[in-house]
Structure 1
């Protein structure tokens, strides 16, 4: 039987790690990792999971749902607040909302972070 693997980090490429970490910190309430800097920033998640942001020269934002520049990663967040309120809060923080919404709007919505990474909010 193979050893069990435990997910310890998810890292997103971006042009400005501290700025993207700040967006997700405000959106999620997670704490900024104390060793965050201009090249790599992180947020301390639940159960030891680190959400990281690494600086990449020549970063190209994914285009969703078009695959001209593939998304490569799609993050989903469960929420227990009203989706309309969450949407307004995220848009105020700098998120985008693509026209293409593949889910029932009462249950889930797709957004993009300030660097173009798509993510969903799913109502619990």
Structure 2
């Protein structure tokens, strides 16, 4: 039998880990990891999964939808109301690309470091 693997972390490159962690903390309500610092910050989820943010010198934000600088990955968040969630996240500092492939079903936003992420209706 192959070894069992449990996802323990998702880590994003960025220029300012504490700032990006603060954005996602406000967006998700996850608790900051107590050992977060200027080079690596993280948010804890109750089941042990954490989202990490690591400082990268000369960071280049992904370009979406073109792939001049590939996005490499994106996060998806389930929400009850697309419009309400989008409004709140834009107020927190998210961006909204002009290209929205299926705006009635999901929204593509970018975090303050330029990473694309999606909002999808839960359920």
TM-score (norm 2): 0.96
Deviation at 1:46, TM superposition (A): 3.8
Deviations 1:62-121 (A, max 9, x none): 0011110000111101112x2111111100011001111112x23210000000000000
Q: Which runs of 5+ in 2 are unaligned?
A: none
TM-score (norm 1): 0.95
Q: Name 1:57's counterpart in structure 2.
A: 57
Task: State how far apart, in whole Å, the 1-side matches of 2:34 and 2:77 are.
Answer: 24
Q: Name 1:66's counterpart in structure 2.
A: 66
* Runs of 4+ residues deviating >4 angstroms: none
Task: State how far apart, in whole Å, the 1-side matches of 2:48 and 2:92 are.
Answer: 25
SS of the residue corresponding to residue 48 of structure 1 reads: coil
Question: Number of paired residues?
Answer: 122
Deviations 1:34-65 (A, max 9, x none): 00000000000241001000000000000011
Q: Name 2:86's counterpart in structure 1.
A: 87
What are the residue-to-residue correspondences of 1:1-124 with 2, within 5 Å? 1-80=1-80, 82-103=81-102, 105-124=103-122
Q: Give the direction of change, closer, same or farther, for the CA distance of 1:116–1:31 in structure 2 (3 Å limit).
A: same
Task: State how far apart, in whole Å, the 2-side matches of 1:84 and 1:97 are.
Answer: 12
Task: State how far apart, in whole Å, the 1-side matches of 2:99 and 2:46 are.
Answer: 31
